Amino acid sequence: MTGPSSERSWWKESIVYQIYPRSFNDSDGDGIGDIPGIVEKLDYLDELGIDVVWLNPVYESPNADNGYDIADYRSVAAEFGTMDDWEELLAGLHERDIKLVMDLVVNHTSDEHEWFRESRQSTDSDYRDYYIWREGREVDCDGGPRGPDGEAPPNNWESFFGGPAWSYDEATGEWYLHIFDEKQPDLNWENPAVREEIYEMMEWWLGKGIDGFRMDVINIISKPEGLPDGEDDGAVVRGAEQFVNGPRIHEFLREMYDRVLAGRDVMTVGEMVDLSVEEAREYVGEDGDGMSMAFNFDHLRLDFGPHGRWDRGEWTVRELKGTITHWQRGLAEDGWNSVHLNNHDQPRMVSRFGDDGEYRRESAKLLGTLTHTLRGTPYVYQGEELGMTNYPFESLDEVRDVDTLQNVATAKLDGRIETREEALDLVRYRSRDNARTPMQWSSGERAGFTDDEPWIPVNPNRGRINAERARADEDSVWHYYRRLVELREEHDVLVYGDYDLLLAEHEEVWAYARTRGDERALVVLNFGDGRPRFDPPAEFDGEDAELLICNYEAAASAVEPVELRPWEARVYRLTG
């Protein structure tokens, strides 16, 4: 439904910039970023050259999970502004030829959504079946949560945020399902009335002129009949193998496509939990569900430990290139990749995959080179273009994120974290809040983000790392990103060219070719602070070439053996 992988479309040629509004720019001094704050920065976005903004949720919400718990789908939260402000944002973006993609969160709502308020009133409520309610069950084993008569939750599924995926509700003496926080009850997609509500809501936003949706955890909306226990201990969370890519998922997404999206030139990107390449093609391939592309997280799991995400393991360059290459090849003929190394749920990429100390600038540029020269649509998360880093948490009091707080508490209970320092080490490495500290606009005490106390602390490195300074410095990560944007506009081969991995076994260098007819580009990335030699494979050695971009002073008129400098990135265009 989306056409072959080589077919042109605007969303393949676009660079998407992700805005987490709470942390972007505060216009009214309440310490919380807002929509007029984004409007103030429209020229900034325009100058960076990005094509699409993906806006994280701005709807009315009690903020148990910063807007991913929506209380009213057709509103703008007062703390972010008004619907008029939002209209002004959309118009301002469109004036600058920038598209707007909104976040669609329909696996769950807030427990304060009126549907859920009604649903929990009584088992006879018209809205009862909008959610997933079950009676508890008798069990003889000890431990775990219990209802008033000692009964256990309806099954053993766990929440992504730690603890059981069920909460007992006294009013009707039943349990409701929540794969995320207890304030995020899962919608019942089996109910056609729920689906109809959602499709109408999507049409309502499209009617306002938006350009697409980013679909939150969209591959978990279909739950299997009988809600069987989870069995696979290796699953991302217990029960996942039951509800990830559930039995009716493709039916639901095709219905959504036919009912809402067909015939509209919009972009959709599905956030997909635990997705394989084969499954991805079923969503985004030519015979798929009509979705433009999907986010997969395989490469962001390489550093998980034996206990999963809230445990730390080691990743290697070979694994990283192996995993990403697997996806590049898997969607080469059918489907399209979205390329991302961080977002609002992940630590900062320069701290995770680069070097946020001595080679921060070089490694941030190298990672940007990677995301802009792979085959797929690049996603830039706010502040990435400045090389913003993780936050040096000194106390759990500085943490705001429900995922971090609950998972750290669970890990302590399980005995996996024993000391305060162990907890803080893990938080500094893994917490979602690393990405959520305020955007650093200037060196001021509050980084130019707000005039008052920000909702989350500002990174103390704001004096060194901020937009004002970056824009005044021709050698900054920011200016390098601008050039990357231009390169992708100028050279189709960087968008549509085939990807071929070179030197697959190399431990430090990631090199690949991009080819489209006669056009050829060669990307060479030194992933570390060593000085490895790059010996071009025979087919490139000595070929005439132009060095399109490099994060060091360099000149070349041919591809030749070279000793690479720490975190050096080079992109050649073959001219012979």
| Site residues, ligand TEU (CB under 6 A) | 65, 68, 105, 160, 180, 216-217, 271, 273, 344-346, 403, 432
Residue 271 CB, nearest distance to ligand TEU (Å)? 6
- DSSP letters, 305-373, are ETTEEEEE----HHHHHHHHHHHHHHTSSSS-BEE-S--TTS--HHHHTS-SSTTHHHHHHHHHHHHHH
With H, G, I as helix, E, B as strand and everything else as coil, classify residue 16: strand
- Give the residue with the Cβ less far from ligand TEU, 5 or 346: 346
Q: Are 366 and 568 in contact (CB under 8 A)?
A: yes
Q: Six-digit token pair at 335?
A: 């489907």
Which candidate in 26, 211, 271, 274 is catalytic?
A: 271
Residue 293, H or E segment: strand 293-295
Residue 274 CB, nearest distance to ligand TEU (Å)? 9
- Give the residue with the Cβ less far from ligand TEU, 215 or 559: 215
- Give the residue with the Cβ less far from ligand TEU, 432 or 570: 432
- Give the residue with the Cβ less far from ligand TEU, 324 or 569: 324
Surface-to-core class of residue 231, CB atoms within 10 Å of its CB (0-12 exposed, 13-18 middle, 19+ buried): exposed
Q: Which residue, chain included where needed, has tokens 């921060």?
A: 360
Residue 391 CB, nearest distance to ligand TEU (Å)? 16
**149 catalytic residue (yes or no):** no
Residue 402 CB, nearest distance to ligand TEU (Å)? 8
- Give the residue with the Cβ less far from ligand TEU, 159 or 369: 159
In 48-152, beta strands by DSSP E: 52-55, 99-104, 133-134
Q: Which residue, chain included where needed, has tokens 């992933």?
A: 527
**84 catalytic residue (yes or no):** no
- Give the residue with the Cβ less far from ligand TEU, 99 or 344: 344
Sign, Cα dihedral of 102, 107, 111, 115? positive
Which candidate in 26, 216, 384, 401 is catalytic?
A: 216
Amino acid at position 198, single letter: I
Residue 151 CB, nearest distance to ligand TEU (Å)? 28
d(CA 352, CA 350): 6
Compute the chain's Rg from CA coordinates.
24
Residue 301 CB, nearest distance to ligand TEU (Å)? 10
Centre a 10 Å sphere on the Cβ of residue 345 and count the other Cβ atoms it contains: 17
Active centre residues (catalytic): 216, 271
